Amino acid sequence: MNKVLVSLVALVVASAPVGMALAQPVASLETSRIVIAPPKSDLARTIKSGLSAAYYGARPDTAVQKEAQRLYFLYGERHFEPIWLSENAQGGVVFSPAAAKIVTLFEQAAAEGLDPADYLTPSISRDKLTGDSIALATLETAFSAATMRYANHIHNGRLDPLAVSPLLDIKAKPIDEAALLAELAASDDPAAVLGKLEPTHPEFLALKAALATFEQSSAERPAPISDGAVLRPGNSDARVPAIRARLKLAASTSQLYDDLTVSAVEAFQEGQGLEVDGIIGPATVAALNGGAATRREDIIANMERWRWMPSDLGDFNVFVNIPEFRLWIDRNGQPEYTTRVVVGTTKNQTPVFSDNIRHLVVNPYWNVPSSIIRGEIAPAVLRNPGYTDSHNMDLLYNGTPVSPWQVDWSQVSSSNFPFRVRQRPGAGNALGQIKFLFPNKHDVYLHDTPSKGLFSRSYRAFSHGCVRVEDPMAFAGALMANEPSISRASLEGMFGPSEKWVNPQTQIPVHLAYFTLRVDADGTIRAYGDVYGHNEAVIRALGLSTDAEPAIVAEVETAPAELSP
């Protein structure tokens, strides 16, 4: 038994999460001496026995077993004494005042975009405060588990992002559970303690406020306009009457997309910052479905994704919203610079994660990813050995450039292509004149591009996964605003044939985010297309009802064929 408990404690210490203001430093947790204190009362001994049974009865490497491990450790530090149960004047057992207030939080969880059933489980209810000591011990530990579950949900969201998509590469923010439980148990206001774990970003708070008033305004809420084929002037479509109503035009049952409706759509597009072309594609449909037409499911799904974001985005940071095809530099929560971007296609999606910009590279080489080599370059070279020369590329074998004319291509195929490929700096380089690096396992970054025409489109998902910046030198100048020795002028002075690396003194947080709803300062909700289908995937994973068919937003028009990241 002692050997098992030692291994259990070691496992818990190795995986013990470290929180925000409540947390100890990581090093102190790793080097602290961990003591499992012996129980001193009958109820404490029952709690210890119940936790041991829960641990040994759970299947290894499951969420149930991990929860039992955490609870054993948390209660072991306090002699397995109860946190939530206390005796009243008549000698009966009751919930502590803090526990009663937390039960109220569980009952009101829907206001947070959460599910009360996740916390008010069959093991937890006010009528369970009777019975033998085993039943009370079960209630005690079940309540701690539910409280930690609630804390993690308001801090990190209900879902594991990676379970929704491997491209939602987001790490959970740790919580010091022992410190949190102790603070909650001693607090006169546990709601305030838990509230510190919630996101504080103004857009999250605005979405939460919109959720609170959603049912009150449901009678005035128009039905969302459904996705469908791209609608051009002169076409007919069953959605046209609803579009007219949304734009407050005279009611008509005609399905003809006529000149009057086209003019109203163009005015709407201009007001939304969309391409003013009168064509109703995914971006325009999404914009029409913002504001009063926003679905409850969309609000909750976007709140969930805000919980995935770091608690502190950084006083000076870069924020890319993929569905919006736009980038910002924010200083102290206020936008200081913004520009359009091109993101990955639905086949080559831009991943969602946070990192730090560490390097700027002027006149960059483009080290072509192996997926593009296999899928595009190798077949092209096999057809025409002059392909690499015509595209200003080097063919590398073991790191050394080789001439494609010296290769016996009859011995090479796409499946056994033994070469790496890089594109030399120059006007036609796929990365343009500058790239902004935040080294990551996805090998994506921000960069310039020679393909400027795509920035004028409303739908801008055309890259192989990297983020192309419309005006990279203006962005570079704004990005280096805090660097005394780096400026736009100094970077432009480096233009030439040789790659040059620039290392800012301070790393800059960069967030590749995915929000289909954004909230303006005046509270207006703007909607954007679910370009990769992540929003509908989150809605399904949360078990929210929706009448909308889950779909990835389709590309309005195909982009010109090009080779670029």
Domain boundaries, the chain: 2-193, 305-365+430-565, 366-424
Please identify which residue in the block is written with the tokens 């969302």: 224
Catalytic residue among 153, 155, 391, 447: 447
Burial class (CB in 10 A: 0-12, 13-18, 19+), 561: exposed
More confident residue, 336 or 87: 336
Is 79 considered catalytic here?
A: no
Q: What DSSP character marks residue 461? A: E
**For residue 379, which of 421, 418, 415, 414 has the smallest C-alpha distance?**
414
Distance CA(128)–CA(95), nearest Å, equals: 10
Instruction: Summarize pLDDT for 204-229 with one digit per residue, the tens.
Output: 999 999 999 887 766 577 878 888 88
Region 176-196: what's the mean pLDDT?
90
Give whole-number Cα distances, 158 to 101, 110, 119, in Å.
Answer: 22, 13, 12
Q: Is the pLDDT of residue 335 over 50?
A: yes
The CA-CA-CA angle for residues 92, 97, 103, to 5°, reads 100
Instruction: Summarize pLDDT for 370-400 with one digit per residue, the tens.
Output: 888 888 888 998 899 899 999 999 999 998 9
Q: Which tokens go with 515?
A: 């929000």
Distance CA(54)–CA(438), nearest Å, equals: 44
* Architecture field, domain 305-365+430-565: Beta Barrel (2.40)
Q: Which tokens go with 203?
A: 């857009």
Give whole-number Cα distances, 484 to 72, 116, 360, 442, in Å.
Answer: 53, 52, 15, 31
Is 391 considered catalytic here?
A: no
Distance CA(211)–CA(206), nearest Å, equals: 9
Q: Is the pLDDT of residue 134 over 80?
A: no
More confident residue, 560 or 369: 369
Cβ contacts of 57 within 8 Å, gap of 6 or more: none
Distance CA(3)–CA(213), nearest Å, equals: 55
**Residue 125 identity:** S
pLDDT category of residue 163 using cuts at 50, 70 and 90:
very high
Catalytic residue among 153, 466, 511, 534: 466
Cβ contacts of 380 within 8 Å, gap of 6 or more: 387
Region 181-189: what's the mean pLDDT?
89
Distance CA(281)–CA(235), nearest Å, equals: 13
**For residue 85, which of 41, 116, 35, 38 has the smallest C-alpha distance?**
41
Q: Which tokens go with 233?
A: 């002037």
Please identify which residue in the block is written with the tokens 């996101």: 199
